[in-house]
Amino acid sequence: MSQTQQVEHTDSIASQDPNNETTKKTKSRRPPNTAFRQQRLKAWQPILTPKTVLPIFFIVGIIFAPIGALLLYASAQVQEIALDYTNCLTDGSSPNTTLPISADSPLKDMPSDKVSQTFKKDMKSNPKWAHAKEAYTWPSGKKQDTDVCILEFSVPEDIKGPIYFYYRLTNFYQNHRRYVKSFDVDQLKGDAKTGSQISSGECDPLNVAPDGRPYYPCGLIANSMFNDTYGNLTALNVRAYTSYNLTGKGISWSSEGDLYGETKYKPKDVVPPPNWADQYPEDGYDSTSLPDLHTWEAFQVWMRTAGLPTFSKLAMRNDHEVLLSGTYRLQIYDRFPASKYGGTKSVLISTRTVIGGRNPFLGIAYVVVGGVCILLGTIFTLTHLVKPRKLGDHTYLSWNNDQPSTATTTGRARPGEGA
């Protein structure tokens, strides 16, 4: 006997039978009954009254104003001189076509807008500048005729060390998105990455040379490295010494050396970046000129990109010797083309205090905030004393001050109403 299989539809009465064994789990979007999910957390809202607000104004003002004054005082103790030599090769005098320039050679006064100084005493004479040419020998052994800028300035009083020597650039955007990521971390650590590996990395557009060899170091940051060279300060009328020596050691952070390593490249496996080509022979690196990035502190300082278009980077320092008062000359091998991108370059000789270099902005900000708080506290106190306001007075509520409406309705009369 054949058996007929019963087909049950989902919308049948049997499917809706409460006694049916098949049960469905009830779904719900109701949040859990907790204080956080049901928004029953305990809260406290302060009630602002004159007795609580006015003391806060005075307390903030009394705290901030003295701190700002101390910051301004500390910033004022920094002694520094900044000389903008961007146009030295065009506006400076040229007493001789080649170096050396004698001490009695006439130099041209620098424009006042190119000089900034904050000494406790006035300088005895205006800074001067001149330009000449000299055959410069690179560490690789290559000689090159180089433009030289000579700056002459006076130090009106003895300055105790440490003395810091910076170069300052303006309108140079190291924080540009494409620029700031244009380097290869592994290559800087010393790994000998191939041309194909560099091409697929972050160094674009300066990753490999036309012959397929990788640039070392690759990327836009390394290629645009600041390449002006500074000499020591030559003393013209100081009896204690003829030269104030500055060193490029100790200018980078102690932790930065860990980011760089001695390369595993062979000299002929890599090519110098385009802007470095003048420093090396036509065939590129050799066994003595391949740079060691682990010990090259000037390179490490440059690779630490700045967040703003105007920045200063430490180039040299002297931690112990006193910079005696007198007249000094500084010789600069001028190569970095700051004027091509509409920027400027300057040298900055400075000291420091407990808050660092000269920066009055923070002190001014503290004084302004403190002064504004004291002023507002005084105004509100006088207002409260002269014309006090009763707390909790309902007559100040906006809906109690609304005038009764005088508007009348217009329209057709309803049926049954007289005209």
Per-residue pLDDT reduced to its tens digit, 16-75:
555 555 555 677 788 889 999 888 999 888 888 888 899 999 999 999 999 999 999 999
State yes or no: pLDDT of 267 exceeds 70: yes
Residue 124's alpha-carbon distances to 117, 161, 272, 325, in angstroms, are 12, 22, 46, 10
> What is the mean pLDDT of the segment spanning 6-10?
52
| Mean pLDDT estimate for the chain | 86
pLDDT at 232: 92
3-state secondary structure at position 58 = helix
- Cβ atoms of 206 and 379 closer than 8 Å: no
Phi, psi values for residue 389, rounded to 5°:
-120, 130
Instruction: Tell me the CA end-to-end span of the chain in Å, nearest whole number.
Output: 92
Per-residue model confidence as pLDDT tens digits over 359-385? 899 999 999 999 999 999 999 999 989
Cβ–Cβ under 8 Å, residues 371 and 61: yes
Average pLDDT over residues 393-403: 71
Whole-number pLDDT of residue 56: 95
Chain CA centroid to CA 19, Å: 75
Q: How confident is the model at residue 1 (pLDDT cuts 50, 70, 90)?
A: very low
Q: What is the pLDDT of residues 133-146, one digit of tens each?
A: 888 888 888 888 89
Question: Are 318 and 163 contacting, i.e. CB atoms less than 8 angstroms apart?
Answer: yes
Compute the distance between CA of residue 316 and CA of residue 247 in angstroms, rounded to an integer: 5
The answer, yes or no, to whether residue 113 has pLDDT greater than 90, is yes
Predicted local confidence at residue 245, as pLDDT: 93
Q: Which pLDDT belongs to residue 230? A: 95
pLDDT band at 395 (very low <50, low <70, confident <90, very high): confident
| Cα 101–chain centre separation | 38
Short-list 266, 389, 245, CA closest to 320: 245
In this predicted model, what pLDDT tens digit does every residue of 311-322 receive, in sequence order? 999 999 999 999
Residue holding tokens 């019963």? Answer: 6
Confidence (pTM):
0.79
Stretch 251-261: mean pLDDT, rounded?
92
Residue 88 has pLDDT above 60, yes or no: yes
Residue 271: count other Cβ atoms within 10 Å of its Cβ.
Answer: 23
For the cut 70, the answer to whether the pLDDT of residue 413 exceeds it is no
Q: What is the mean pLDDT of residues 389-398?
A: 74
